[in-house]
Chains A and B, each alone.
Chain A
Amino acid sequence: MKQDDIKSNILTTTLESAVNWGRKNSLWPMPFGTACCGIEFMAVLAARTDLARFGAEAIRFSPRQSDLLIVAGRISLKMMPVLIRIYEQMPEPKWVISMGACASTGGVFDTYSVIQGVDKFIPVDVYVPGCPPRPEGVVDGLIKLQELVDKEKFSDYSTTLKK
């Protein structure tokens, strides 16, 4: 192989940034739609604001095959154990988008039976405000999450997971 061939065929990078580049451009969402945000999330996937442009079109309804949990809608007392189980079934690395006012804060449902923000119990990376958010808002949230994924370091992962 000639010297010029090496120049035009080999790209040097760190493993970390190569892996992060792959991860951020192939997020596989697991939609947890419990209310009208779930309907709005369908619009995010549709033609006008096509989520496939950001590599996140492979919607998996199995948590074991996905790495992005999108909580779309209010979470009731009976649904929270289900959400925790689904989050725990997702393989690392995993991220969470809390879509809409209800998932982030409980919204207008300040009652005994509605969880006042899923971030009380599961870690959330990006909050998308709105009731429900515009599809553009969700896309903006996804781009923000991609920036976050791009900056992650392997050393940040703790070797022993806390229970």
Chain B
Amino acid sequence: MLLPEIITKIENQFSDSTLDTTKFAGEDVIHIKGSSILDILKLFKNNGFNFLADMTAIDNLTLGGFERFSVVYHLLSHETKERVTVKAYVPEDEPELPSAESLWKTADWQEREIYDLFGISFKGHPNLIRIMNPDDYKGHPLRKDYPRLGRKERDDFPVIERGINKDSSKEW
């Protein structure tokens, strides 16, 4: 099944959850509600989209959008050489999505990265822990309301003093 047919099928079958279909740079973008993302991704996978090329997230705090966060799936079909972008919208008060790790193993680390930097949790993920920041890190730094210079994490280390007194009179 080619991409236009799949999109029409989604628009008919998931008319409640499909928010919009747009085009950007010649590629189709499907905007959907986060709750039914797994069914739609399954439909894409069963119709030849075997490769999750990239997965990322956007904070729509200043951009505007259907919800605060959107998680973006870039899918590629090696068979028909078609690409499609699926955007799943996640509300701020309950940032949770079903995990796509069961469909593409790539999603494992991508979802951990999104969890680390945006604080969106993925239901059914086998090992949802931080991937880049330290385990005891507080907050999610790619959210737009997170200060760029952080919350003093970079100043929070023990100060090691030297065993030799350098403040004596021998400046060199």
Listed in ascending order, the chain A residues whose CB lies under 8 Å from chain B are 77-78, 80-81, 84, 87-88, 92-93, 110-116, 120-123, 147-148, 151-153, 156-158, 161-162
The answer to whether B141 touches A123, judged by C-beta atoms less than 8 angstroms apart, is: no
Which residues of chain B are within 8 angstroms of A84 by Cβ–Cβ distance?
157-158, 160
Show 26 A/B contacts (Cβ-Cβ < 8 Å), sorted by A. Answer: A77-B134, A77-B137, A78-B132, A93-B164, A110-B149, A111-B148, A111-B149, A111-B150, A112-B147, A112-B149, A113-B150, A114-B154, A115-B157, A121-B160, A123-B162, A123-B166, A147-B172, A148-B172, A151-B170, A152-B164, A153-B168, A156-B165, A158-B164, A158-B165, A161-B163, A162-B161
Q: Would you list the 3 A-B pairs with minimal beta carbon distance, nearest first?
A: A112-B150, A123-B162, A162-B161
User: Which listed residue (A110, A115, A122, A156) contacts B168, Cβ 8 A?
Assistant: A156
CB of B133 within 8 Å of the partner chain: yes
Which residues of chain A are within 8 angstroms of B146 by Cβ–Cβ distance?
112
Bound CA–CA A110/B154 (angstroms): 10
Bound CA–CA A40/B133 (angstroms): 27
Which residues of chain B are within 8 angstroms of A122 by Cβ–Cβ distance?
160
Closest to B132 in A: A78
Listed in ascending order, the chain B residues whose CB lies under 8 Å from chain A are 132-134, 137, 141, 146-151, 153-155, 157-166, 168, 170, 172
Which residues of chain B are within 8 angstroms of A111 by Cβ–Cβ distance?
148-150
Which residues of chain B are within 8 angstroms of A157 by Cβ–Cβ distance?
163-165
Bound CA–CA A111/B151 (angstroms): 10
User: Which listed residue (B148, B161, B168, B170) contacts A123, Cβ 8 A?
Assistant: B161
Which residues of chain B are within 8 angstroms of A147 by Cβ–Cβ distance?
172
Q: Which of B151, B157, B158 has the most CB of A within 10 A?
A: B157
User: Which listed residue (A88, A115, A151, A152) contacts B160, Cβ 8 A?
Assistant: A88
User: Which listed residue (B148, B163, B165, B172) contacts A112, Cβ 8 A?
Assistant: B148
The answer to whether A115 touches B154, judged by C-beta atoms less than 8 angstroms apart, is: yes
Given A110-B148, A162-B163, 15 other A-B contacts at CB below 8 A?
Answer: A77-B153, A78-B132, A80-B157, A84-B160, A87-B160, A92-B163, A112-B147, A113-B154, A115-B154, A120-B159, A121-B157, A122-B160, A123-B162, A156-B164, A158-B164
B41 to chain A, nearest CB (A): 32
Which residues of chain A are within 8 angstroms of B149 by Cβ–Cβ distance?
110-112
Bound CA–CA A120/B133 (angstroms): 21
Bound CA–CA A99/B6 (angstroms): 56
B123 to chain A, nearest CB (A): 27
